[in-house]
Structure 1
Amino acid sequence: MTAYSTADHVALVEDLRRLVASRLIDSVEILLPVEPALAALRERLRIDAEVWAAQLLGPDDRLASGVLARLIAALYPGDSGFDPPADWWRTPLGRVTARRLGHPTVENVPFAQAGAMLGITRQGVHDLVRRGKLTGHPAGGVSADSVRDRLAVLHASSNGSDDGSGRSGRGDSRV
Structure 2
Amino acid sequence: MLADQIATVIRTRLLDPVEILFGDAGDLPARAEVLARQFAAAIEGDDERAAVHTLSRLIGALYPGDGPFDPPAGWWRTPLGRAVARRIGHPGARTVPYSVAGAMLGVTKQGVHDLVRRGKLIKSAEGGVTTDSVRMRLNS
Which of the five TM-score ranges fits, normalised by the shorter chain? over 0.9
Residues 78-110 of structure 1: CA distance to partner in whole angstroms, max 9, x if unpaired?
000000000000011001000101101110000
Distance 1:112 1:53 in 2: 27
Residue 62 in structure 1 maps to residue 52 in structure 2: no
Q: Name the amino acid aligned to 1:78.
A: G
Q: TM-score, normalised by structure 2?
A: 0.98
Q: Partner of 2:18: helix, strand, or coil? A: helix
Instruction: Identify which of 27, 31, 34 aligns with 2:21.
Output: 31
Q: Name the amino acid aligned to 1:43.
A: A
Structure 2 match to 1:42:
29
Q: Partner of 1:62: helix, strand, or coil? A: helix
Gaps of 5+ in 2: none
Runs of 4+ aligned structure 1 residues displaced above 3 Å come to none
Residue 100 in structure 1 maps to residue 90 in structure 2: no
Structure 1 match to 2:9:
19
Q: TM-score, normalised by structure 1?
A: 0.79
Distance 1:66 1:60 in 2: 10
Q: Name the amino acid aligned to 1:132.
A: G
Deviation at 1:140, TM superposition (A): 1.9
Distance 2:62 2:27 in 1: 19
Q: Highest Rg: 1 or 2?
A: 1
The count of corresponding residues between Structure 1 and Structure 2 is 140
RMSD of aligned alpha carbons: 0.7
Structure 1 match to 2:129:
142
Structure 2 match to 1:124:
111
Residue 110 in structure 1 maps to residue 100 in structure 2: no
Q: Name the amino acid aligned to 1:79.
A: D
Distance 2:96 2:12 in 1: 28
Gaps of 5+ in 1: 1-10, 154-175
Deviation at 1:39, TM superposition (A): 2.9
User: What is the aligned-residue identity percentage?
Assistant: 54
